Chains A and B, each alone.
Chain A
Amino acid sequence: AQTVTQSQPEMSVQEAETVTLSCTYDTSESDYYLFWYKQPPSRQMILVIRQEAYKQQNATENRFSVNFQKAAKSFSLKISDSQLGDAAMYFCAYREGGSEKLVFGKGTKLTVNP
């Protein structure tokens, strides 16, 4: 079974600084997709960024970018110029091609210090 591991239960960053959240996954599939979701205190799950495994280019969405290392099965999220509103739980998720089942990691709680 596919598993997603987030090894950092908590992280903190100073406002305007850069932080990287780690995620590794285990799969024998070649067709899959990876996601980062943000869950602020409001509980809403918000998609931050997604990556198709067949694409070598790392996905970028404004201040958010990923470092996708397919051979190492690593999918880290970099947040640049951190803002107070970035404070939230961040979940890494995996979806196998041909399935809509998302498998989530246990999350990383990000604190942004003013």
Chain B
Amino acid sequence: DTAVSQTPKYLVTQMGNDKSIKCEQNLGHDTMYWYKQDSKKFLKIMFSYNNKELIINETVPNRFSPKSPDKAHLNLHINSLELGDSAVYFCASSLLWGGPSSTTDTQYFGPGTRLTVL
């Protein structure tokens, strides 16, 4: 069974469209993330949710809206797609949200979704 799954794996769409990427984890983790990997392979965090609550919100256009219906799912909706949105988007999850002295915790990544905006 896949621990962190994303759908779709590939997404090709026209500029201006609205699209969603879904993410599900079956690890029983409390925290989920979205990362963006650009064409130069640079990986940067976008959002993080803990128990359905938004924890991290980096400088991301408000065209991007994460939605967490439950702890096991974190979907990414993108409005009015632009050429610069073309990238690989990774979902990840980890067991716990870190406290002041959090123990080491590992983030488990999904297979990625390659989004191409034409």
B56 interfacial contact with A, CB 8 Å:
yes
The yes or no answer to A16 lying at the interface (CB within 8 A) is: no
Q: Does A91 contact B (CB under 8 A)?
A: yes
- Does B102 count as interface, using CB distance less than 8 angstroms? yes
With A104-B42, A106-B40: A98-B99 Cβ-Cβ less than 8 Å = yes
- Residue on A nearest B103 in the bound complex, by CB: A52
Contact status B41-A97, CB under 8 Å: no
Which bracket fits the contact residues of A?
A: 20 to 34
Interface string of A24-39 (1 = CB under 8 A from B): 0000000101010101
A52 contact set on B, CB distance < 8 A: 104
Q: Is the Cβ of A102 less than 8 Å from the Cβ of B45?
A: yes
Given B31, B94, B101, B108, which contacts A31 in the complex, CB threshold below 8 Å? B101
Q: Which of A37, A43, A100, A106 contacts B112 (CB 8 A)?
A: A43
B33 proximal to A (CB < 8 A): yes
Whether A89 contacts B41 by the Cβ 8 Å rule is yes
Q: Which of A76-114 contact B (CB under 8 A)?
A: 89, 91, 95, 97-104, 106-107
